Amino acid sequence: AQKVTQAQTEISVVEKEDVTLDCVYETRDTTYYLFWYKQPPSGELVFLIRRNSFDEQNEISGRYSWNFQKSTSSFNFTITASQVVDSAVYFCALSVRYGQNFVFGPGTRLSVLP
Amino acid sequence: DGGITQSPKYLFRKEGQNVTLSCEQNLNHDAMYWYRQDPGQGLRLIYYSQIVNDFQKGDIAEGYSVSREKKESFPLTVTSAQKNPTAFYLCASSIRESNQPQHFGDGTRLSIL
């Protein structure tokens, strides 16, 4: 069975601080895919990134960066120089090769204060 | 614009009543999903469909029913058997491969009168 843990329930930072959201996953499959989604107050989930299990390269996209480490089964997400618009709930999700469905973590609520 | 449309945005249910939540997509995706989100919690899968005229139960299917008569439509009925239906319901769709991201609608918030 697959499982995703996001141990941080809520995080509050002041604007311009860096913040890292943790994601730890469990799966016995050797091929799997990891995702991050953002859920702003309006409610819809916005896809941010997909990473497959064979690619451990870190990725940077503007102020966002992701650190994938298979050795610790983690896929952490860092926001650099946070902004108020980053305030949202962030979900980490896992999908395995022979499964068709996502397993979502419980989410981390990020509040960026001005 | 391509996307997923959920309606209504807000819905109220009376005791003993069935209500149906609409989900339509024009992304030409084969797979569609329904999730339930409770306050402060993650998403739980209710039902999913990989192809027209076929669907499977997710983790919390009791008290819910779905149909998939058309590729673009996947309505969810919350029946009177669902004793605690108050939640935020999200519909999603994807290409039918596990490495593809799911795309989500704006959600329907269901409350009990």
Residue B83's pLDDT is what? Answer: 85
Length of chain B: 113
Do the Cβ atoms of B112 and B10 come closer than 8 Å? Answer: no
Residues of chain B with pLDDT > 70: what percent? 98
- B31: nearest CA in chain A? A100
Residue A107's pLDDT is what? Answer: 95
CB contact under 8 A, B98 and A35: no
Tens of pLDDT, residues B23-78: 999 999 999 999 999 987 789 999 999 999 999 999 899 999 999 999 999 999 99
B1 to chain A, closest Cα gap in Å: 16
CA distance B101 to B113: 35
CA distance A91 to A112: 17
pLDDT band at B97 (very low <50, low <70, confident <90, very high): confident
Give the bridge partners for A79, in sequence order: A19, A64
Phi, psi for residue A111 in degrees, rounded to 5: -115, 120
DSSP character string of A49-78 = EEEETT----EEETTEEEEEEGGGTEEEEE
For tokens 């990473």, the residue is A51
Nearest residue, CB atoms, B106 vs list A9, A42, A98: A42
Residue A99's pLDDT is what? Answer: 58
CB contact under 8 A, B102 and A107: no
What is the domain extent for residue A41? Answer: 3-113
Do the Cβ atoms of A108 and A56 come closer than 8 Å? Answer: no
A71 to chain B, closest Cα gap in Å: 21
Residue B108's pLDDT is what? Answer: 96
Structurally, how many domains does chain A consist of?
Answer: 1
CA distance A45 to B14: 28
pLDDT band at B98 (very low <50, low <70, confident <90, very high): low
Residue A100's pLDDT is what? Answer: 60
Tens of pLDDT, residues A44-64: 999 999 998 988 888 888 999
CA distance B84 to B19: 13
CB pairs under 8 A between A and B: 58
Q: What CATH number is given to the structural domain containing A69?
A: 2.60.40.10
Given a cut of 80, whether residue B2 has pLDDT beyond it is no
Comparing C-alpha atoms, which of B12, B11, B21 is closest to residue B46?
A: B21
B82 to chain A, closest Cα gap in Å: 22
Residue of B9, B91, B99, B106 to mutate, testing the A interface (most A Cβ within 10 Å of its Cβ): B99
**In one letter, which amino acid is B77?**
T
Residue B112's pLDDT is what? Answer: 86
**Could you report the average pLDDT of every consecutive run of 10 residues in chain A (114 residues)?**
93 97 95 94 91 85 93 96 97 80 91 96
For chain B, the first-to-last Cα distance in angstroms comes to 35
Residue B14's pLDDT is what? Answer: 87
Phi, psi for residue B74 in degrees, rounded to 5: -145, 75
